[in-house]
Structure 1
Amino acid sequence: MSVRILALVGSLRAGSHNRQLAETAVKHAPTGVEITLFEGLAEVPFYNEDIDVEGSVPEAAARLRAAAGQVDGFLLFSPEYNGTIPAVLKNAIDWLSRPYGAGALSGKPVAVVGTAFGQYGGVWAQDEARKSLGIAGASVLEDAKLSIPGSVTRFAETHPSDDTEVVTGLTEVIQQLSQATPSAA
């Protein structure tokens, strides 16, 4: 049985280096690990308890929850926007944290990685994502990290999947994540 991981990307830009990093994870997933890149975070409305009503949850949010309910763990790819987590990624965490105590994130292992233009590779945003995920009930893998600085120059001519150091680091994170899932036991 394969370990199933859902990848969520915090950048909506077509040429996003974080999306390319997620594509690299899908391409280089170790044997026995299936990574699915969730499409549609841009369509998920901002979380609002008034619209989170059983039987009338917005379709995009329901699709996100359904996809999350089918996996063993999560891999989030976060750029850094003004020193913190992008709104689209925080919104996904909010939707997946409900219903309180029984959301799709509850108890499942999660790793957060990413790349950003700055010299630290988005570590502030990734730390904020880990904090939010932990509060939401996920089992955050604090030691499964990959922050790649200088994305604009590093990936100007090279796709992350062609960068041996990136592929090695990402594969290590995926292995840590897959080993933390109940399916691996």
Structure 2
Amino acid sequence: MPTPPPDFDKSNGLLPAIVQDAVTGKVLMLGYMNAEAYQKTISERVVTFFSRSKNRLWTKGETSGHFLHVTDVLVDCDRDTVLVKARPQGPTCHTGADTCFDESNASNVLFIEHLKQVIKSRKNASPESSYTAKLFAKGINKIAQKVGEEAVELVIEAKDDNKELFLGEAADLLFHYLVLLEAKSIDLNEVIDVLRRRHK
């Protein structure tokens, strides 16, 4: 549970709860929670609101099957707004739209943040535990070599018209590039900062 917890004594026991896609960062919807809905959301890891129109607890997806699976719950500095990060199981809006603001929710860019954390967690792990840990154990030269190999393979696939093979090589290159950055103790955001400065 987040610390400190929400202050449900404000606003007659109902607080706004913003739901954000944990992967894309898109705001999916806004609902309201009372203390019971909040606790149910925390314990069952599925977003539950208090429906003001039905005057009862309402689990998002209970009729449509489009549940919002909770990954994290945050409380703002005034303790009167809840932010729920979740993975949507289908479209969020009852209209069939990805979000209740009629925005597309197709981007997976924030998955890179998750992947970075996985790579970081394996930096000092046992080499027998995963391919990534084994790569780290072999040292910077081997990691850099793998990046070079994957880059060459991507160039080769770029000359052909097999999209599936090209995407596979592109994914391999991106993964090994992230491993190389972690091996050098450089965050991807530092690279992005360089790009942003060049863009000015």
Give yes or no for TM over 0.5: no
TM-score, with normalisation over the residues of structure 2?
A: 0.22
Which one has a bigger Cα radius of gyration?
2
